[in-house]
Amino acid sequence: MPYRSSEKTRKKKDAKRTAMMQAAVGVFAEKGYHAATVRDIVSAADVAVGTFYFYFPDKETLFVHLYEETADFLLQAIDQAVRRQTTLPEQVQNGIQAYVNIALYEPAVIHLLLVGGVGAVPSLTSRQKEFRERLVAIWLRPLETAVTQKTIPPQNCRRAAEAIAGAHDEVILNLLSHADPDSEAENVIEELTLFTLRAVAYKGG
């Protein structure tokens, strides 16, 4: 009869894997990919080195996996926030609010996606490109709808979405470098919303 692990054993294994991944996000964000070591990660997760290699063959595999999961987490949050609204101002504000919330409560996730992974791992290049494409697509959809509804003038919505995504990243990173990000968050949401609407010449209606 083949061996089958019990539910309790599976949950224990899942907990160790989750602890390692959560610890790794923080370690990579703090030290960067190249400076971070497997020993740093297992120490932060309070697991044995052998446990790490049970789940991941090397640091690069873990990093790529983390990048994919954190990218999905951020993109889904922004996309769902945008889809919950129907007018462009509400969509923009909601999407920015979601981005800022994650930046404040999970800053390591933002650093991993926007800083820690850039140029660090060659095998990550295609995934970084996919992340940018998906982020641009989140903003492209409401812009095209707004053009159809004539609440913004005809324009190259693809270029506008690229510019918006890049501007948001830059502002969010600057927010995280602020001495007290929480105190600036509300202003950032308001100002970045107004900037985005001005950039696409929103005229309401």
* Range in 24-33, 72-81, 82-91 the model is least confident about: 24-33
Q: Provide mean pLDDT across the span 170-199.
A: 95
Helix (H) or strand (E) holding 114: none
Report yes or no: 58 and 141 within 8 Å, Cβ to Cβ. Answer: no
Decide whether 8-56 matches 59-199 in CATH topology: no
Q: Provide mean pLDDT across the span 50-78.
A: 91
Q: For domain 8-56, which CATH number applies: 1.10.10.60, 2.40.30.10, 2.60.40.740, 1.10.10.10?
A: 1.10.10.60
pLDDT at 115: 79
Whether 105 has a pLDDT exceeding 70, the answer reads: yes
What is the chain's Cα-based Rg?
20
- pTM reported for the whole predicted model: 0.86
pLDDT band at 3 (very low <50, low <70, confident <90, very high): very low
pLDDT at 10: 55
Helix (H) or strand (E) holding 189: helix 181-199
pLDDT band at 165 (very low <50, low <70, confident <90, very high): very high
**Chain segment 4-63, per-residue pLDDT in tens:** 555 555 556 678 888 888 899 889 888 888 888 999 999 999 999 999 999 999 998 898
Cα distances (Å, whole numbers) of residue 172 to 37, 87, 177, 187: 27, 23, 9, 12
Q: For domain 59-199, which CATH number applies: 2.60.120.260, 1.10.150.20, 2.60.40.10, 1.10.357.10?
A: 1.10.357.10
Q: How far apart are CA 99 and CA 115, in angstroms?
A: 16
- Ordered by start, the domain boundaries in the chain are 8-56, 59-199
In 3D space, the residue among 74, 64, 70, 68 whose CA is nearest the CA of residue 33 turns out to be: 64
